[in-house]
Structure 1
Amino acid sequence: MGEPQSLQGSPAERGRHAIQDVDIHAWSRRFGLLADPNRLEILLCLHRSPGISVRELAEATGRSENAVSQALRILRHENCIMSERIGRSVVNRLDDAVIHEILHNIGAEHG
């Protein structure tokens, strides 16, 4: 048998570096947002139709405006979306480049 590998080159050491090189908590929060079907549908709608209102999101997803508003509050709190008042309505846009890329990777296309 050959000489034992140094810890730096061992699989365990490389694994430790992989964990240290990534912001685990940020990724966990993002995946948590995407894991909820309601929020994922909303994010897909925002991706395809930037500037969509709460009423239009509710219509698109088949959910109540209240349920959509609650999901948007969570997404806004996590800095994933941007909401802007235009006249009497508030429009929403996806504002997270990483989530944007993830949506592309799962097959989401632009309108």
Structure 2
Amino acid sequence: MHLVPAEHAHRRVLDEHGVCDAIAGVGDPAAVRDWADRFGLLADPGRLTLLLAVRAVPDLSVSDLAVAAGMNDTAVSQALRLLRVAGVVAARKDGRVMRYRLVDDTVADLLEKLPRPLV
């Protein structure tokens, strides 16, 4: 039971090899937290809708995304701010208009796995 943390070494285990394999399969706890955060971004219907729209048509403006997603401009701006801070989307200024595109390849790959159309 070489992978069992010291604070859990006292606990009863039925399958020592299985426990070690499971711990190895989980991997680095920090990486698990990063994935949970990434999935958390996708768990919100509004953000997921925006990501699907941006994936389908890169470089849409906030107001165009709001219409496409059926959301108000303020909610879209707030969601895009979260997605931008997380590194999922990037903004490009076009005159006075900000245009957004998907830049996280892993999220793009996850979105690609969704069935079309979502119903």
TM-score greater than 0.5 by the shorter chain: yes
| 1:19 to 2:5 alignment | no
Trace 1:61-80 onto structure 2 (pairs within 5 A): 61-80=69-88
Shift of 1:21: 5.2
The residue identity in structure 1 corresponding to 2:65 is: L
Q: Give me the whole-angstrom Cα distance separating, in 2, the residues matched to 1:106 and 1:59.
A: 22
- Structure 1 length-normalised TM: 0.86
Q: Which runs of 5+ in 1 are unaligned?
A: 1-5
- Structure showing greater relative contact order (alpha-carbon pairs closer than 8 Å, 6 or more residues apart): 1
Question: What is residue 39 of structure 1 aligned with on the other side?
Answer: 47
| 1:84 to 2:92 alignment | yes
- Structure 2 length-normalised TM: 0.80
Alignment deviations for residues 35-85 of structure 1 (CA, whole Å, 9 cap, x no partner): 000000000001000001000000001110000000000001101000010
Query: Are 1:83 and 1:93, in contact at CA under 8 Å, matched by a contact in 2?
Result: yes
Instruction: Count matched residues.
Output: 102
Q: Which runs of 5+ in 2 are unaligned?
A: 1-14
- Structure 1 residue ranges, 4+ long, deviating more than 4 angstroms after superposition: none
Q: Give me the whole-angstrom Cα distance separating, in 2, the residues matched to 1:102 and 1:14.
A: 26
Q: What RMSD in Å do the two structures reach over aligned CA positions?
A: 1.7
Q: Give me the whole-angstrom Cα distance separating, in 1, the residues matched to 2:33 and 2:57.
A: 29
